[in-house]
């Protein structure tokens, strides 16, 4: 397999991070303070979806995905029984407009979420936004965790613009 190198020095301690992008051809993960945005391409294998969701859970169990769904009243309990947390609901013409939090602390909720993503990918690429409290060290820990996925690579590191620095983007190319 080869030696595992430590990548702790990838993020400059002297600059304020704007975003950290990683992934492979069929999946892209962009981490910022407060949010992880994941693009899943239609060809991404189910195992990779699971590895990413569990990887985020391992680094930040407090992370959540906010999901808005219009469903029948009976379906609300079904989502809750799968580990989703009901935040709000309101009756509308189409059914009940609901908002759920999908907690990354619940493997049951993540399993159900992974299944939903797989179903959605049958039709089109999909984007999943997760909210977390990650900082530079959490981003690096997530990169190290996801780096075990076959074909995983660092794509780019972007820093906040400083008055002194005109271009602080670092793009990693093959």
C-alpha gyration radius of the chain: 18
How many angstroms separate the CA atoms of 129 and 25, rounded?
19
Contact 47, 53 (CB under 8 A): no
Residue 109, pLDDT > 60, answer: yes
Model-level pTM?
Answer: 0.86
**Look-up: residue for tokens 């303070």?**
33
CA distances from 132 to 17, 99, 100, 103, 172 (A): 15, 18, 16, 10, 25
Residue 171 clears pLDDT 90, i.e. is over it: no
Q: What is the mean pLDDT of residues 18-39?
A: 96
Higher pLDDT: 52 or 172? It is: 52
Q: In this predicted model, what pLDDT tens digit does every residue of 112-142 receive, in sequence order?
A: 999 999 999 999 999 999 999 999 999 999 9
Phi, psi of 152 (to 5 degrees): -70, 140
What is the rounded distance in angstroms from the CA atom of residue 109 to the CA atom of residue 143? 23
Residues 137 and 151 in one domain: yes
Check whether residue 58 and residue 28 sit in a common domain: yes
CB atoms within 10 A of CB 119: 10
Cβ atoms of 88 and 99 closer than 8 Å: yes
Q: Are residues 71 and 142 in the same domain?
A: no
Instruction: Give the least confident one: 79-88, 121-130, 155-164.
Output: 155-164
98 and 109 belong to one structural domain: no
Residues 24 and 83 in one domain: no
Q: How far apart are CA 115 and CA 91, in angstroms?
A: 26
pLDDT at 166: 45
pLDDT of residue 170: 58
Check whether residue 97 and residue 111 sit in a common domain.
no
Looking at the fold, whether 117 and 40 belong to one and the same domain comes out as yes
Residue 42's domain spans which residues? 18-63+104-156
Count of C-beta atoms within a 10 Å radius of residue 110: 23
């Amino acid at each position: 397999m080869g030696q595992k190198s430590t990548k702790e020095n990838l993020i400059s301690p002297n600059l304020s991070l704007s975003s950290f992008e990683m992934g492979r051809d069929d999946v892209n993960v962009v981490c910022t303070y407060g949010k992880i945005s994941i693009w899943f391409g239609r060809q991404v294998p189910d195992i990779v979806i699971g590895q990413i969701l569990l990887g985020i859970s391992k680094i930040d169990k407090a992370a959540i995905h906010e999901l808005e769904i219009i469903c029948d009243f009976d379906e609300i309990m079904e989502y809750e029984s799968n580990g989703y947390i009901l935040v709000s609901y309101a009756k509308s013409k189409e059914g009940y407009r609901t908002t759920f939090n999908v907690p990354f602390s619940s493997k049951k909720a993540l399993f159900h979420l992974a299944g939903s993503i797989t179903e959605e990918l049958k039709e089109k690429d999909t984007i999943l936004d997760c909210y977390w409290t990650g900082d530079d060290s959490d981003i690096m820990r997530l990169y190290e965790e996801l780096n075990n996925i076959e074909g995983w690579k660092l794509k780019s590191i972007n820093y906040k613009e400083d008055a002194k620095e005109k271009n602080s983007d670092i793009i990693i190319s093959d």
